[in-house]
Each structure stands twice: as C-alpha cells, then as structure tokens.
Structure 1
Amino acid sequence: MIRRTIETIAWEYQQICTGEDPWTALGNFTNAWYDYAKDMRTALVNDPLVLPAHETEYTHRLAAFCAASVEFLCDRYSIPSPDWIHNPYYPLESPWWQTRQAHDPSIREHLLRETPPPFAHRNIFCNNRLYQNKYEMSQWVQEARTKGLTIPNDIWHYARQKEASIHGA
C-alpha cells in the first residue's frame, strides 16, 4: 500500500505558505474532508496552523480563511471545533471581499447578508455556497434517478432541495 499525506488543514496551510495555490490546497483539504478521510474529520482539523515566521497580509488572510473554514465545516457536520480557531489572531482588521466585484456596493451588500457567520466574524466576506459538497450532490442526483426522475432540471431541483433541507444553504 502506498502511504500518502493526509491533507489536514494545517498541512495545506503550510503548502499555501510555501507557494501552493490556496484554492488548490483548500480543494485538497475538502477532498479529504468530504471523501477519502471523512471518517477522520476530527483529525483533519485538530492541529493548529503553524504561522509563518514572516507574516504577510496574504498569509494572514489565508490563516483566517482556514480557521473560518474549520469552524464552518465542524458546525455543519456536528464535529466539535478545535480550540485553536478561537485565537484572536484570526479576525482580520480590514474586510476581505472574496469577489472580483468588490467595488460594487450591491455585491458587498449581498455578501454581507449571505456570508456564513464563521467567515463574517473574521471579516471575510464570501458566497454562502463556498463549501458545497460535490460528493453529496452526486449521491442525491443518483437518488433522484432511482426515484424515477429523468428531466435534468427536475433532478437538479431534487438534489438542491435535499441540500437545502440538510445544510440550509
């Protein structure tokens, strides 16, 4: 058996600090969370982030984003959040808008309403469907087909309704 690194949030943050694209690193973490290591979710988030010796705005923002992500996912999947996410280092002093249209007041207003609390209280503003689980969606699409749904729009609505009933997204 080939041994591989389990992509914990702490591991992926280190990868980000050494030059990995942050969305690739976070994608690796979510693949572990939602798929191949979902039976080890507590272990995926237990270790605190090791902050770089030379902090930048970039590394600080992404550390805050990782802490918010852990709080969000632990809450959504009823896993106790690790204590390290409450470090007063993580909230950002200035808002970080996760959109290309940050200059548009209507977009900012939308994000202020939609951003999940773990992100908003760290001053990060983003879409509320940020951690949509593609593995669950695939399962619900299959479930819709098993129930006899054949029209793509009906299948999508079934899967989306299932997601909303479970996650409130």
Structure 2
Amino acid sequence: MAQYTLPAVSTLPSLDAERRAEVLSHLFEPCDALNTLCIAQLGVTTFPSYDVLISFVRDELLRLKESTSTSDTEWLLKILSAHPRLGANKVDSAHSRSEQASLGGPTEAAELERLNNEYEEKFPGMRFVVFVAGRPRTAIMKDMETRIARGDIEAEKLEAINAMADIARDRATKLMQ
C-alpha cells in the first residue's frame, strides 16, 4: 500500500465529504459515526493545524461523553469501539497494524485476548483504546489490568478519547512527512 499523505489542513473545506472522511479515517479509524459527527464542520472551518483539528474532534467526543442523552452515549460508544482490539489477528487499518506490531507472539496474543474479553465484559460497548507507540506489551497488559480493576466506565471513556487524540496526533505527524 502506498503511503497516504494528508492534504494541507487549510484545504479541508474545499474537499468533498468523501475526502474529508478519508482524512478522519487516517487520523482516527474508519467510522461512519465519527464522520457524521465531524464531516460538516470540517467543510466550513479552516483549522490552522492538524493538532487544532484533532483537538476539535476530541472536544466533540467529550461533549458526547458529558451529555445525559442516551443517544449521545450510544453514538460515543460507536466511535470508541471503531478502534480494533489490541492484538487482534485481523486489523483493517494499516495504521493500527503498524502501531500494534510490538504486541508480541502467541503467548501474549492469548493473554491480550483474555484481557480484551474481560475488559469488554466489564465495560459493555467499549473497546480498550490506548496509545501503544512502541510500549512493551507487558506495560500495555498491566495498564489493561489496572483499568479493568478500577471499574470506572466514565474514566474509561475519557481514557479512550484522550488515547484517540494522542494516536491521531502521532499519525498526523507521520502522514505529513
């Protein structure tokens, strides 16, 4: 697959909705719910940088998190669960495959599968999202265990939103080179 390069952020308003969705898919993960939430604004706002655009998306996700509306909560969970499971064999996003490359062999895969199942049972509708960035698998699994033990779904939503923004910032840096 050829390396995707982000268009200049100043050109986003002039792009059609499909191209703006492509940008969001590369920064975050392919997700119709995220596109519906953000595409229109990307068509009318000239962001000074991708960092500011990512902060805008993060703020939109935080707005959904803080809402008392059941439909907003469901919408947020659709977006948060767009990230692939850590260590999954089939990961659609080339970016996620690359980011998860440090997550180890079969023993680690079995442990990640167990932790993913435990996490998703503890937090229905959620997917464990973390900024891997080459961190050792033992540190990632310890983080999963700590967050499962904490048992706070609102804290998990915040962790996932912040991780998504961190991942998007890292991807933006790589995709502008």
TM-score of the superposed pair, with normalisation by structure 1: 0.32
TM-score of the superposed pair, with normalisation by structure 2: 0.31
Which is higher, the Rg of structure 1 or of structure 2? 1
> Higher relative CO (CA 8 A, sep ≥ 6), structure 1 or 2?
2
